[in-house]
């Protein structure tokens, strides 16, 4: 059919299924589908998010209704005692609606609390406060202290890692290939680490959000999107500039550090992490190799301007600050899962890119891709990340 056949009638043809859908919806809404059953009890599926303690005399449970029916909360039990409460905005929580259950309760610092929400049908939903500490509110002081945490676990180690650049530049070709392979190893570790974290958070989302498929699909779309963008960066050249590769590694690592920041901020706010010296040290050790990874592609190039290193450090480590802010003040499982999924896609893309660099180098030097150097670097990268990860379980 030619273009000339696309008249107004053609538009109508396109609208035909939509018209049918409209009629069907109208019929269903007015008459029902005829397959409902009234004898089954309503399905109540309330997902409990965070429990915050904004004051010394309040517990606040954040809930979201992921089930097909509204849920009406009628009673609240705190540590085996029925307790006063109010629900904002309303104790009837509509499908996909969110609410805050505010419980006036003078809690004891450092103790654990078990909260049970009871719906009108007697169904219960559990929430817990593992360690009762005041949830930091939003103030200039907390804002800067969260920023400091993010700075410690993100910017500092990445910057320190980048400081290896002059040292690494004096390595021979084999040494530089070792560092590139090491970068691939640590990135592979980060992909898995980020993916598992994203899936864990996604599994806590209300069922209606289909969290796990969403994470995987967002990661894939990010990967394909970045691969497409990378072609644009090449601007007709065979390869993108190595500096651009460094930037993309920094971006992927930045997403990963954003995820770390989210986890740390949330755990810190909930009192789950005594963010002590040990943990800060652990993160510094864990993330210092990320700086090496970012520097690896530009080892063989003319030394980029100093400003580039500052920008790379900020891009790779800075998101940790953003993460601690979001995690501490406005934590959302949905947003966290999406951020982390984007991170997975971004890191996958740089694994592909750095892997290609390595392959091209080995093709040029006519050495096998899986040479001892490359395998050793890969293993070292994974091993370093694995061992240092032992220090930083939040």
Partner 1 sequence: MGVPFGPHVGEIEAVGGLDLAATMFEVALVVSLALLYRQGTLVPVREAEVTLAEGGRTVREFELTAEETEIEVAPGIVYPAWAYNGQVPGPTLRATEGERLRIRFKNNSPHPHTIHFHGFHPANMDGVFELVGKGQEFVYEFDAEPAGLHLYHCHTSPLRKHIEKGLYGAFIIDPEEGRPEADEMVMVMNGFDTNFDASNEVYAVNTVAFHYQRHPVQIQKGRLIRVYAVNVLEFDFINSFHTHATFFHYYPTGTRNPRSGEIEPSEFTDTKIFGQGERGIMEFSYGFPGPFMFHAHVSEFAELGWMGVFEVEE
For partner 1, which residue of 48, 60, 102, 116 counts as binding (CB under 8 A)? 116
Count of chain residues binding partner 1 (CB under 8 A): 15
Using CB under 8 A, which residues numbered 70 to 109 contact partner 1?
Answer: 72, 74-75, 77, 80-82
Q: Is 168 exposed, middle or buried (0-12, 13-18, 19+ CB in 10 A)?
A: middle
Using CB under 8 A, which residues numbered 39 to 68 contact partner 1?
Answer: none
**Sole residue written with tokens 């505010």:** 102
Q: List beta partners, residue 129.
A: 113
Secondary structure of residue 302 in the 3-state scheme? coil
In the bound state with partner 1, the residue whose beta carbon lies nearer, of 124 and 210, is 124
Distance in Å, CB of 120 to partner 1, minimum: 5
Q: List beta partners, residue 75.
A: 118
Q: Which stretch binds partner 1 (CB under 8 A): 20-28, 121-129, 162-170, 290-298?
A: 121-129
Q: Which stretch binds partner 1 (CB under 8 A): 6-14, 98-106, 116-124, 177-185?
A: 116-124
Strand ranges (DSSP E) for the chain? 46-52, 58-65, 71-78, 81-83, 86-88, 92-93, 98-104, 113-119, 124-129
Cα separation, 137 vs 230, whole angstroms = 41
Distance in Å, CB of 59 to partner 1, minimum: 16
- Does residue 118 touch partner 1 according to CB under 8 A? yes
Distance in Å, CB of 72 to partner 1, minimum: 7
User: Sheet harboring 46-52: ordered strands across?
Assistant: 46-52, 58-65, 98-104, 86-88
For partner 1, which residue of 22, 89, 94, 122 counts as binding (CB under 8 A)? 122
Residue 89: is the preceding peptide bond cis (ω within 30°)? yes
- The bridge status of strand 113-119 relative to strand 124-129 is antiparallel
In the bound state with partner 1, the residue whose beta carbon lies nearer, of 83 and 151, is 83
Cα separation, 224 vs 221, whole angstroms = 5
Distance in Å, CB of 73 to partner 1, minimum: 8
In the bound state with partner 1, the residue whose beta carbon lies nearer, of 119 and 287, is 119
In the bound state with partner 1, the residue whose beta carbon lies nearer, of 71 and 182, is 71
Distance in Å, CB of 67 to partner 1, minimum: 15
In the bound state with partner 1, the residue whose beta carbon lies nearer, of 79 and 145, is 79
Residue 393 falls in which region: left (phi positive, over 0), alpha (psi -120 to 50) or beta: beta
First-to-last C-alpha distance (Å) of the chain: 62
Distance in Å, CB of 52 to partner 1, minimum: 24
- Does residue 241 touch partner 1 according to CB under 8 A? no
- Contact residues for partner 1, defined by CB under 8 A: 72, 74-75, 77, 80-82, 116, 118-124
């Amino acid at each position: 059919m030619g273009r000339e056949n696309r008249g107004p009638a053609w538009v109508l043809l396109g609208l035909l299924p939509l018209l049918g859908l409209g009629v069907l919806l109208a019929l269903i809404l007015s008459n029902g589908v005829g397959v409902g059953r009234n004898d089954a009890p309503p399905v109540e599926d309330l997902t409990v998010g965070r429990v915050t303690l904004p004051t010394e005399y309040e517990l606040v449970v954040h809930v979201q209704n992921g089930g097909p029916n509204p849920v009406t909360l009628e009673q609240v039990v705190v540590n085996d005692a029925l307790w006063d409460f109010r629900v904002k905005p309303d104790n009837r929580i509509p499908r996909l609606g969110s609410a805050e259950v505010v419980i006036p309760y003078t809690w004891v610092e450092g103790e654990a609390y078990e909260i049970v929400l009871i719906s009108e049908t007697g169904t219960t939903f559990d929430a817990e406060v593992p360690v009762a500490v005041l949830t930091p509110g939003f103030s200039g002081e907390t804002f800067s202290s969260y920023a400091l945490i993010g700075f410690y676990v993100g910017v500092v180690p990445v910057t320190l890692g980048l400081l290896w650049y002059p040292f690494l530049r004096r390595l021979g070709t084999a040494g530089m290939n070792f560092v590139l392979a090491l970068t691939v190893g640590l990135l592979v570790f980060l992909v898995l680490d980020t993916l598992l974290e994203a899936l864990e958070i996604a599994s806590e989302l209300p069922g209606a959000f289909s969290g796990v498929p969403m994470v995987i699909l967002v990661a894939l779309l990010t990967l394909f999107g970045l691969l497409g963008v990378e072609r644009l960066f090449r601007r007709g050249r065979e390869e993108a500039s190595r500096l651009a590769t460094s930037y993309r590694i920094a971006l992927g690592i930045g997403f990963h550090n954003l995820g770390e920041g989210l986890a740390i901020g949330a755990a810190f706010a909930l009192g789950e992490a005594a963010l002590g010296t040990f943990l800060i040290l652990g993160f510094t050790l864990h993330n210092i190799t990320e700086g090496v990874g970012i520097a690896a592609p530009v080892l063989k190039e003319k030394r980029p301007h100093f400003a580039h290193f500052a920008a790379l450090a900020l891009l790779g480590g800075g998101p940790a600050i953003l993460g601690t802010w979001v995690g501490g003040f406005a934590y959302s499982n949905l947003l966290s899962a999406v951020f982390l999924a984007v991170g997975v896609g971004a890191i996958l893309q740089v694994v592909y890119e750095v892997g290609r660099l390595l392959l091209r180098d080995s093709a040029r030097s006519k050495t096998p891709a899986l040479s001892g150097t490359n395998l050793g670097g890969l293993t070292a990268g994974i091993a370093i990340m694995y061992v240092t990860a032992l220090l930083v379980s939040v």
